């Protein structure tokens, strides 16, 4: 089943009298439980596309569906509610809240977005702390843990609402080789255990190597699609 359906999406940014086409007539689908990478040079439109899939920025034209819902023309409040329930985010700079502990950072979406009762929140967070291997860091603050551990916390936070889709923008960019490889393995494990779909925007060949489907963007256009499981190149 398709989790993401993108049909003839275009994104135009207007700056005064100048129009910039960041994404031009792009179409693709992503199935449930997929491990997908968008690659291409800087300025090719990768982050713009992730922002649209993540309900952060609406397309100028075209149709974009996530989990069966047309998000193309959702209002801001409805898009925020949909995003909170269905989409998690992992960023290259981790985006952890420095004044909150590891536990509190993971718990935060359950309070702000879904308002789960305390006992249910604690159970969910503790299970994810164990799953990503940072249970012993629960009471520490972000400044007290390593980059690899911060990214594990960010992954747990992205998964805590049981979102079916996680968008990861250059998630290994600020990690050393060993940490990056462990994070990639962890995300694959999370996909296998929870059925989560991961979509990456990346320059990292280690991420690309592990992706099952690779979409290549150039100047806002989708120029190729490669399915590593089937050996197909379109």
Output the pLDDT for position 73: 84
167, 95 Cβ separation under 8 angstroms: no
Output the pLDDT for position 229: 62
pTM of structure: 0.90
Left (φ > 0), alpha (ψ -120 to 50) or beta: where does 27 sit?
A: beta
- C-alpha dihedral (21, 164, 142, 174), degrees to nearest 10: -50
Q: Which residues are CB-neighbours of 37 under 8 A, at least 6 positions away?
A: 199, 200, 201, 202, 207, 208, 211, 213, 214, 215
pLDDT, tens digit (0-9, with 9 covering 90-100), for 129-179: 999 999 999 999 999 999 999 999 999 999 999 999 999 999 998 888 898
pLDDT, tens digit (0-9, with 9 covering 90-100), for 27-43: 999 999 999 999 999 88
Output the pLDDT for position 15: 82
Distance of alpha carbon 131 from alpha carbon 125, whole angstroms: 10
Mind listing the domains of the chain with CATH numbers? 35-58+82-233 (3.40.50.300)
Mean pLDDT, rounded, of the chain: 91
């Amino acid at each position: 089943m398709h989790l993401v359906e993108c049909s003839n999406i275009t994104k135009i940014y207007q700056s005064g009298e100048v129009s910039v086409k960041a994404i031009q007539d792009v179409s693709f689908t992503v199935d449930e439980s997929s491990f997908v990478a968008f690659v291409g040079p800087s300025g090719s439109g990768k982050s713009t596309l992730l922002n649209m899939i993540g309900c952060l920025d609406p397309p100028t034209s075209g149709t974009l569906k996530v989990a069966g819902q047309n998000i193309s023309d959702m209002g801001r409040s409805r898009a925020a509610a949909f995003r909170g329930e269905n989409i998690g985010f992992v960023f290259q700079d981790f985006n952890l809240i420095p004044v909150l502990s590891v536990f509190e950072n993971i718990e935060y979406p359950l309070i702000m977005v879904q308002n789960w009762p305390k006992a249910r929140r604690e159970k969910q967070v503790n299970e994810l702390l164990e799953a990503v291997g940072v249970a012993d860091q629960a009471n520490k603050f972000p400044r007290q843990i390593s980059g690899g551990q911060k990214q594990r916390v960010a992954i747990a936070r992205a998964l805590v609402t049981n979102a079916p889709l996680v968008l990861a923008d250059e998630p290994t960019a600020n990690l050393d080789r060993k940490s990056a490889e462990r994070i990639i393995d962890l995300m694959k494990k999370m996909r296998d255990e929870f059925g989560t779909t991961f979509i990456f925007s990346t320059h990292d060949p280690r991420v690309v190597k592990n992706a099952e489907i690779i979409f290549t963007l150039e100047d806002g256009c989708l120029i190729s699609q490669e399915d590593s499981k089937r050996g197909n190149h379109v």
